Structure 1
């Protein structure tokens, strides 16, 4: 099973959002990592067959998804960044409604709704109105609807944005659980979403593919670029002006430990540190890390 992207591009007017992107996926979880505006959502919408590219092709098992049409939609599940729920529907009624839209026979739909509610841990809440659910519970209903057709490709766009840490962990564990024999594409700008579950990480920046590799190989690539140095409080602004400072921690009276991203040693007293995915994000995207 494979999903192949070849020379994909997308423009809105004069603005090019995706620029000659080529990637190949097989079964497993892939993290699509990028800052806001990097083209992640546009890529996910094209892969979900919601948006047409300006150029390039997408193939599922070597078949162009444009030619597959409905046959492709039958093998994908999609959780967009913002799901439109009917607030007065119960979780069960909402899922039965979506199952009908997906063309599942009524008797099959009932069993499938039971199955996905159990999978996402909402069996006991099946009669609860979705409008009263927490953000995390709504996202679990969202992933349940995406799984109704037992998809081979599951596409989830920024699924943990706004969730508390407990719900975020629950959601990550759920994605890892359902990834067996599926291609799971998870777009995010939150590095902890992909740290432990992604087979590979795809890094997008300004619509272009920068890297696609395993988390460990990506970290190995910046192993000599992460430093820590202890400085006085008065020195901090100078370091922030010259370098990417990922973390500032107080270690004593007026003394702070700075974690710095730099291609060269930033200070004679700086010590090389083992990198993590937050360092990786800061290295590629010059903005504050989301956590």
Structure 2
């Protein structure tokens, strides 16, 4: 993980382009509300499928471990949370099947969880399980949506994960609706953007627009995972996808059904895209500043 990102007015020099391809997986699946142990087993099995398809990085949906089900999250915070220590490490035996899958597959797994911090604050987090099976709370969602504010506190900094020389910014769902969030990752040197998410049925237009736009805005790969199915009003719409640095889908799931979408991020494609589309290097320090007001 990196320290908090800082804005930059030029393409970052501290993150050279990667030199080897990176195969990634975006997962869409339906967790069981409140069943952290069972959902961790499901996450382990899905991660194993991704490893069998050659993935090195697996992204699962927002709040996948407890399920994105606010009534359950409100009624049983102790049972639905995992606890992180002051260093962000999570030691919870319910996650052992996921740890085992990461070790067996040589995977880095990013999965959504409700996390209780040492100061008792509760966040929506992206847990990162590394190939040794270590689990840490890698990122805490900064932009809370709607009634999430009644249950959780926002994070206060970005984070970047580094795998095989690829710098991968972390975001969670609503974070990706803000261009500034993806741009902060790119300013920190990100080559990709990983977004565990929970989009409800009826939001397919926004689901398919936001993350393709973040890819194109920042000439970076985007891996979008999403929950799927469930019962109204908490029914989710899948569509997990991997986007190339021009926002084109390399893989995309259907609106229903479990799936593991696998694609490979190519260093040459990233380099060629950034050579042809130089927004990161060309952007002014304050676009739109000093505006003129016109009266019609």
TM-score, normalised to structure 2, is 0.30
Larger Rg, first or second structure (1 or 2): 1
Q: TM-score, normalised by structure 1?
A: 0.30
